[in-house]
Amino acid sequence: MEPRGTKREAGKTEVAEPRNKVPCPAPSLPTDPALYSGPFPFYRRPSELGCFSLDAQRQYHGDARALRYYSPPPTNGPGPNFDLRDGYPDRYQPRDEEVQERLDHLLCWLLEHRGRLEGWGENDSLEKNLGYSWGPGWLAGAIVTWRGHLTKLLTTPYERQEGWQLAASRFQGTLYLSEVETPAARAQRLARPPLLRELMYMGYKFEQYMCADKPGSSPDPSGEVNTNVAFCSVLRSRLGSHPLLFSGEVDCTDPQAPSTQPPTCYVELKTSKEMHSPGQWRSFYRHKLLKWWAQSFLPGVPNVVAGFRNPEGFVSSLKTFPTMEMFEYVRNDRDGWNPSVCMNFCAAFLSFAQSTVVQDDPRLVHLFSWEPGGPVTVSVHRDAPYAFLPIWYVEAMTQDLPSPPKTPSPK
Ligand code: GDP
Ligand code: MG
């Protein structure tokens, strides 16, 4: 929909003509899919920089202790018969969603690794020639965020239900993006119907049926489902001219994958309603596969394994969807989605954010807000409640880097 009947180019923002009389309207970014249907933009093959884990108490550990191993039922056997409602609610320890973690765990990882990011990074000569060097100064030019926030950006041109808010701060050159729960999302979460709560549990229960704690061992569905536990991969990529550092939760790694190199060994697990009619499949391709594609394409996770549940909550069939084949299901569908639109819109938003957030100040926040049917708008804030870069992070980053070991100099 073009609100004022004027054609605007993708990525261009509405800016008033520099006339004294005309009040300068705040810049905004349109989200209409038709504006973003150009060729697929450059997206660097994501590489894993590191990882971290959150334990049952949601405590951070700079290692892979929470990584689980893909362990599907044997293909020659009877096939799955997973009761996803088993253990609910008595063996369920849900994460406290009132705790707003913002970027904290990712910043923790960044602090621990900034030496390698800033100090001694090797340079990729091709990228250096292009002006995107890896090594000293790389982080200062990068965007740091969660994968989940980028997923929401990718699906925005097609989203008709849920808006979002992203807080942005620039600090030492780096642009940090952290989601803010909208009042509507908060109200919905607090009023979440019991059936929806159980459905969320069932998604985690499926992971427990499909994953083992050690490679080669079998899943143990008798234990508790604790959603505080998470394994997160930290990745580096680039969208167009925007270097990216983001982290995403990974369900498991496949010890039998053709390549054991992350992220190509990772597997995303999903549940969905069993489908019976072509109309149900079509709707699944149009809506669910878009979300699955966006989430797994960003970190380069090659496969999504779906468990289809019947109305009684049992999974009796599995299907693997290769991430790179998901678009094929909607390629010839007028009402389908297009990966180019998703990525071009995301690139346009990142350009919009980069040019809006000019001042380098960790206490200053530009809040980008979007509701379906409208453009992305901006408001400016200082300190609480929107500032999200913690004092411990700002102070530690303001200290000099611990210097690399020096060869002893002659006295
Ligand atoms: P996703 O792609 O939406 O699953 O999110 P990410 O993989 O980017 O997760 C980033 C961090 O946010 C991880 O530590 C997750 O455990 C956490 N996280 C994921 N989803 C939610 C959520 O719905 N609520 C809260 N509070 N945290 C979440
Ligand atoms: Mg999953």
**What is the whole-number distance in angstroms between the Cα of residue 274 and the centre of ligand 1?**
26
Of the listed ranges 49-63, 66-80, 290-304, 391-405, the least confidently predicted one is 391-405
Nearest to 229 by CA among 246, 195, 252: 252
Question: In the numeric block, which tokens belong to residue 45?
Answer: 């093959």
- Does residue 407 sit within a domain? no
Residue of the CA atom closest to atom 22 of ligand 1: 97
Residue 136, φ and ψ in degrees, nearest 5 = -50, 130
Q: What is the pLDDT of residues 92-132, one digit of tens each?
A: 999 999 999 999 999 999 999 999 887 544 555 666 666 77
- Does residue 320 sit within a domain? yes
User: Is any atom of ligand 1 closer than 6 Å to the C-beta of 94?
Assistant: no
Q: Which region holds residue 103: left if phi is over 0, alpha if psi is between -120 and 50, else beta?
A: alpha
For residue 184, give the H/E element and its range: helix 183-190
- Does residue 409 sit within a domain? no
- Does residue 257 sit within a domain? yes
User: Is any atom of ligand 1 closer than 6 Å to the C-beta of 80?
Assistant: no
User: Is any atom of ligand 1 closer than 6 Å to the C-beta of 301?
Assistant: no
**Which of the four pLDDT bands, split at 50, 70 and 90, describes residue 25?**
confident
Q: What is the pLDDT of residues 250-279, one digit of tens each?
A: 999 999 999 999 999 999 999 999 999 999
pLDDT of 117: 84
- Does residue 373 sit within a domain? yes
Contact 351, 242 (CB under 8 A): yes
Look up residue 45 and give its amino acid: R
For residue 69, give the H/E element and its range: strand 69-70
User: What is the rounded distance in angstroms from the CA atom of residue 174 to the CA atom of residue 10?
Assistant: 24
Q: Regarding predicted confidence, which is higher, 25 or 68?
A: 68
Q: Which domain holds residue 148?
A: 33-395
User: Is any atom of ligand 1 closer than 6 Å to the C-beta of 376?
Assistant: no
DSSP 226: E
User: Is any atom of ligand 1 closer than 6 Å to the C-beta of 53?
Assistant: no
H helices of 224-302, where? 278-283, 289-297
For residue 200, give the H/E element and its range: helix 194-210
Ligand 1 atom closest to Cα of residue 149: 8
Ligand 1 atom closest to Cα of residue 105: 14
Domains identified in the chain, total number: 1
User: Is any atom of ligand 1 closer than 6 Å to the C-beta of 152?
Assistant: no
User: Does the interface ipTM go beyond 0.90?
Assistant: yes
**Which of the four pLDDT bands, split at 50, 70 and 90, describes residue 298?**
very high
- Does residue 25 sit within a domain? no
**Which of the four pLDDT bands, split at 50, 70 and 90, describes residue 384?**
very high
Contact 134, 116 (CB under 8 A): no
- Does residue 24 sit within a domain? no
Measured between alpha carbons, how far is residue 301 from residues 77, 251, 260, 281, 292 in Å?
Answer: 27, 10, 12, 23, 10
- Does residue 165 sit within a domain? yes
What value does the mean pLDDT take over residues 366-373?
A: 98
Contact 295, 154 (CB under 8 A): no
pLDDT of 177: 99
**What is the whole-number distance in angstroms between the Cα of residue 169 and the centre of ligand 2?**
29
**What is the whole-number distance in angstroms between the Cα of residue 266 and the centre of ligand 1?**
17
User: In sequence order, what are the residues at sequence separation of 6 or more whose Cβ sits closer than 8 angstroms to the Cβ of residue 227?
Assistant: 93, 94, 95, 204
Residues with CB in 5 Å of ion ligand 2: 251, 269
